[in-house]
Amino acid sequence: MNKWKQMTMAAVLSFTALGSVFAGTGTHSVYAAANAVPSYEVKFIVKPEAVLTSNGQVQEDVIEKLGLNSSPQAIGVAYYDTDQLELNEQGWDVRFRKKEDKNNYELTYKKRYPIINGDIDAALSLANKEEFDASDDNYEAEIDWGYGKQTLSFSNTKKVSTNTAGTQLPSEQESLDLLLDKLPGKLEKWSSKGWGEEKLSQSRVYGPLTFYRYEGNWEGQELTLEVWPIRNSKGTGTENLIEVSFKTDDQEIATQLRSELMNTLDENGWLLPVDGLKTQLILERY
């Protein structure tokens, strides 16, 4: 066989092998990106009456046992959705936030996926089909791991410089204009082209409110305790929702320290055996 025939035969064989890869699978499966690799945020709700003083400060023994700083950081926050909560119904939350010690606003667009029966891979695969995958570095994948359930989320956070001091947020319309200006493509075209822009344009503010974050170090892990004064169900005042949490990229650390933190909170009579619903409560009560 001459050299030309050998080259031709090699090309045919290569093409045939490639065809066998595509056959029955489709080109998309060959080039599809891998599932996203999430980090973990472990969070528990604690009893306000057990951890706060009469004037709303965190008790000294709680600060000591959880390794918290005694001075909290104040953070202003508001959410945006339509009157019918159409964004939330599709798993989207849109948040506007200002930390008292920062010179920028944080605009966050978050898509949530429920994790059913602990099947994280199924949630990641569903998200992948909807273009939230390992190739997208605009979104941070995270598993929120509470008392009884897990939720997968993908967050896109953008910052806008400001000279505003403290936790003061812009007016409702100014905030909405900024959120629309930074609207990410995935939300903009979620159900159809322009859907996200249309729904966000029709949105109103839920809030605003100011919550307080205590930061510290527990078992070598950065840990936070947040006090959220949320309007009560009757609209006559506020009630505190208090969340203790830590974040890690390591699933084993998340699993191990989750058990230790739960035991610590429970042994001291602080733990509330429920899952956190702060975003949902704000959307329901404001």
At a CB cut-off of 8 Å and minimum separation 6, what does 37 contact? 134, 141
Give the pLDDT confidence score for residue 12 in this predicted structure: 36
3-state secondary structure of 207: strand
Give the pLDDT confidence score for residue 31 in this predicted structure: 61
Residue whose token pair is 């699978």: 25
The two beta strands, 140-145 and 39-46, are parallel
User: Which stretches of the chain score pLDDT less than 50?
Assistant: 1-29
Vertex 241, ends 59 and 267: CA angle to 5°?
A: 55
Q: Are 42 and 260 in contact (CB under 8 A)?
A: no
Q: What is the rounded distance in angstroms from the CA atom of residue 261 to the CA atom of residue 8? A: 66
C-alpha Rg value of the chain to the nearest Å = 24
The two beta strands, 150-161 and 204-218, are unpaired
Give the pLDDT confidence score for residue 21 in this predicted structure: 38
Cis before 184 (ω within 30): no
- Among 47, 28, 66, CA closest to 246: 66
At a CB cut-off of 8 Å and minimum separation 6, what does 109 contact? 92, 93, 94, 95, 155, 156, 157, 183, 184, 187
Give the pLDDT confidence score for residue 119 in this predicted structure: 97
Q: What is the rounded distance in angstroms from the CA atom of residue 125 to the CA atom of residue 136? A: 14
- Among 110, 230, 92, 107, CA closest to 175: 107
Buried b or exposed e, range 187-196, using 16+ CB within 10 angstroms: bbebeeeebb
Residue whose token pair is 């056959």: 23
Q: What is the rounded distance in angstroms from the CA atom of residue 99 to the CA atom of residue 40? A: 23
Give the pLDDT confidence score for residue 14 in this predicted structure: 40
- Among 84, 90, 80, CA closest to 190: 90
- What does each C-alpha distance from 89 to 162, 186, 210 come to in angstroms? 32, 16, 25
Give the pLDDT confidence score for residue 276 in this predicted structure: 78
Q: CB-based burial of residue 172 (10 Å sphere; 0-12 exposed, 13-18 middle, 19+ buried)?
A: middle
